[in-house]
Amino acid sequence: MRIDVLTLFPEFIHAAAAVGVVGRAQQRGLIEVAAWNPRDFTHDNYRRVDERTFGGGPGMVMSTRPLTDCLAAIRTAVPEPARVIYLTPQGARLTQRRVRELALLPRLALVCGRYEGIDERLIAREIDEEISIGDYVLSGGELGAAVIIDAVGRLQPGALNDADSAAHDSFEDGLLDCPHYTRPEVDAQGDAVPAVLLSGDHAAIARWRRREALGRTWLRRPDLLARMTLSRADRALLDDFRRTWLA
């Protein structure tokens, strides 16, 4: 997969994509991340990339000409057509379901807004999809781009050493993940790891993990649970969790 990012801060994108799982995925050739600065597509002496917004009032908008020229260069950089995504608070909230869909595409182009964003006509003409990473306003879309690069990059085949760990991430099956534990078995405060995890009984461990994932989702994100149709076995596990929790 190739991801091109239009940003006034390429160094941020390169740094975010150079570490961890995504950095390793780049080294393995599983993903290629390229950053493009619209400032390199300006023609005035001041290399202006922002303009006043029509109608007066505070706030600037990113200059359209450098964005248009930068996007044209991105599109023609490689033959593969790209899905062009604009990071904005006005976009659809990013979900793991959408991340899984995006991870299957051959190429993405992420447009990072700054200031108050970009001209609406540019959105209509050039943007395929608007995505928000949350209901808050950032100083730039670069953090959103980094989120998409990481979430999509880690799902590339071969990116995770233990592919299974992606399969049981939170949201992968609509649920939050179960709790995780590591050494020591009993910590300095005397708190012990749940005995079932030390039992070697893989069926019991799987049941415990599913029960905890269902219960944790019920407690923390009932909205996710409301969207699900639970199997008879899941309903029994959740009822058991609820009985214990409410006892």
50, 69, 130, 169: the catalytic one is 169
Surface-to-core class of residue 234, CB atoms within 10 Å of its CB (0-12 exposed, 13-18 middle, 19+ buried): middle
**CB atoms inside a 10 Å sphere around CB 89:** 17
116 as an active site residue: the answer is: yes
Q: Which is nearer to ligand 4H4, 139 or 161 (CB)?
A: 139
Q: Which is nearer to ligand 4H4, 61 or 225 (CB)?
A: 61
Residues lying near ligand 4H4 in the complex (CB under 6 A) are found at: 87-90, 113-114, 116-117, 132-134, 136-141, 144
2 sits in which H/E element: strand 2-6
Question: Shortest Cβ distance from residue 134 to ligand 4H4 (Å)?
Answer: 5
Are 118 and 85 in contact by the 8 Å Cβ rule? The answer is no
State the catalytic residue, choosing from 2, 50, 65, 89.
89
Burial class (CB in 10 A: 0-12, 13-18, 19+), 106: exposed
Nearer to ligand 4H4, 112 or 159 (CB): 112
Encoded tokens for 125: 């003409």
Residue type, 107: R
Is 120 tagged catalytic? Answer: no
User: Cβ(154)–Cβ(22) under 8 Å?
Assistant: yes
Q: Is 154 a catalytic residue?
A: yes
CB 40, min distance to ligand 4H4, A: 20
Task: Please identify the residue of the shown chain whose CB is closest to the bound ligand 4H4.
Answer: 117
Shorter beta-carbon distance to ligand 4H4: residue 23 or 89:
89
Q: How far is the CB of 58 from ligand 4H4 (least distance, A)?
A: 12
Minimum separation from the CB atom of position 108 to ligand 4H4 (A):
14
The owner of tokens 């071969």 is 158
Q: Exactly one of 24, 154, 210, 211 is catalytic; which is it?
A: 154
Rounded distance, CA 186 to CA 184, Å?
5
What is the 8-class DSSP label of residue 62?
E
Q: Which residues carry out catalysis?
A: 89, 116, 154, 169
